Structure 1
Amino acid sequence: MIEFINVEKKYANGTVALQNINLKIEQGEFVAVIGLSGAGKSTLIRCINRMHDITGGQLNVDNVDVGKLRGKQIRRFRRRIGMIFQSFNLVTRTTVLKNVLVSFVPDLPFWRKLTGVYNRDHKIKALEALDKVGILDKAYIRVDQLSGGQQQRVALARTLAQNPDIILADEPIASLDPVTAKMVMDDFKRINQEMNISVIMNIHHVEVALEYADRIIGIHKGTVVFDGESAKVTKEILDTIYGGQVEEATASLEESPAHV
């Protein structure tokens, strides 16, 4: 379980990114965090794995006070949390398989880190992860020969290989076309349901968030202004989240039979 208790994030320049955040996210939930650019969505999810340190309150993951972790404790903690970025963060001049194998580097003895030699068990786990996202046949192809959607699937496979309890996704489909985005979102949903992995996703595409997520968290100017089931999101709620700047999202909501 992830629990935010009166969490605040204030940057050194005085900017308040998050204030008075109180949330509980249970294991296995699929949560979409929505809001305007700069509202605090990325900051919220990056606090969960200590990419950002909170400056007030308390953040617990399975009853572990994340703010109190130090050094090796942080690295060990992060092994349980996969992170997917918009930019994929792949080494494009090497193979798909080698990119997935990178997930095992933190656990390797020093000599293996230096030589880049992985054992048979690591390779099997990496290939199984590629199979789960449907690109096993691309294992020995260089990443720069793949499409954007295939590269995002490599990033997802790399995360799955570390066997996480939680996946944080920061705008994972922002650079993808609609058809490819749907394929990637289908992967996230299947993994969430079949493996009971919590997915917390920061996403700009409101209609996609409503279709795939079970729960919506709306952030406006660093505060949570909505937290509830996707099916309960209305045009009025979207106006609150987006400060009235949600014409396109409102139109898509109006056209969707599931939300009429």
Structure 2
Amino acid sequence: MIEFIDVEKKYNNGTTALSNVNLQIKQGEFVAVIGLSGAGKSTLIRCINRIHDITKGKIMVDNVDVSKLRGRHIRKFRRRIGMIFQSFNLVTRTTVINNVLVSFVPELPMWRKVTGIFTKQHRTKALEALDKVGILDKAFVRVDQLSGGQQQRVALARTLAQQPDIILADEPIASLDPVTSRIVMDDFKRINQEMNISVIMNIHHVEIALEYADRVIGIRKGEVVFDGKASKVTQAILQEIYGGKWESDQATEELTAHVQ
């Protein structure tokens, strides 16, 4: 379980990114975090794995106060959490399998880190992860020869290879076309359901959030203004989350289509 207890995050310039956040997220949930740009969505998920440190309160993961972890303890903790970024964060001039193998580097002895020699077991796990996202046939292709959607699936495979309990996804489909976006979201949903991995996703595409997530958390100016089932989200709730800026005809059509 992930628990936010009276969490506040202030940046050095005085900006309050999160204020009085109280949440509980159970293992195996698929949660979409929505809101305007700058509302605090990315900060919320990045505090879970300590990319950002909180200013006040506690974040507990399985009854461990993550803000108190230091050194090897925080490194061990981060092995349980996969992070997916919009920019993929891949080494494009090498092969797909080499990018997945990177996930094993923290656990290697120094001589393997220096030489880049991985065990047969590591290679098998990397190939299995690629198979889970449907791109096993691309294992020995250079990453720069892949489409954006395929690259995001490589990033997802790299995360799966570390066998995480939680996947944090920061705008994972923002740079993808609509068709490819749904292929990637199908991967996330299948992994969530089949492997019981918690997925917490910061996403701008509201209609996709409502379609794929079990639960929606709406953030406005750093505060949680909605937390409930995706099926309970109405236009009035979206107006509240987006501060009255949920007004476009396209947005209305998207929500209407979902509700129907």
Instruction: State the TM-score, normalized to the length of structure 1.
Output: 0.98
Whole-Å separation in 1 of the counterparts to 2:81 and 2:130? 18
C-alpha separation in 2, matches of 1:209 and 1:47: 21
Amino acid at match of 1:211: E
Q: Equivalent residue for 1:165?
A: 165
In structure 2, what is the Cα distance between the partners aligned to 1:72 and 1:223? 32
Residue of structure 2 in register with 1:250 after alignment: 252
Residue 238 of structure 2 is matched in structure 1 by: 238
Q: Which one is further off, 67-76 or 201-210?
A: 67-76
Aligned length: 258
CA shift at 1:232, angstroms?
0.2
Alpha-carbon separation, structure 2, partners of 1:251 and 1:233: 14
Is 2:54 aligned against 1:59?
no
- Describe the SS at the equivalent of 2:7: strand
Q: 1:191 corresponds to which letter in structure 2?
A: I
Deviations 1:63-102 (A, max 9, x none): 1100000111111100000000000000000000000000
Match of 1:3 in 2: 3
Any gaps of 5 or more consecutive residues in structure 1?
none
2:109 equivalent to 1:73: no
- CA distance in 2 between counterparts of 1:249 and 1:69 reads 42
The amino acid of 2:73's aligned partner reads Q
Counterpart for residue 117 of structure 1: 117
Gaps of 5+ in 2: none
Paired amino acid for 1:253: L
Matched residue, 2:94 = 94
SS in structure 2 at match of 1:101: helix
What's the TM-score once normalised by structure 2's chain length? 0.98
What is the distance in 2 between the residues matched to 1:243 and 1:143? 40
Give the CA deviation at 1:244. 1.3
Percent of pairs identical after alignment? 78
**Which letter maps to 1:255?**
A
CA shift digits 1:223-254 (9 cap, x unpaired): 00000000000000000000111223333112
Q: Kindly provide the amino acid, as one letter, of the partner of residue 61 in structure 2.
A: V
CA distance in 1, matches of 2:72, 2:12: 25
After the TM superposition, which parts of structure 1 deviate over 2 Å for at least 4 consecutive aligned residues?
A: 247-251
2:184 corresponds in structure 1 to: 184
User: SS at the partner of 1:12?
Assistant: coil
Residue pair 1:238, 1:250 contacting (<8 A) in 2 also: no
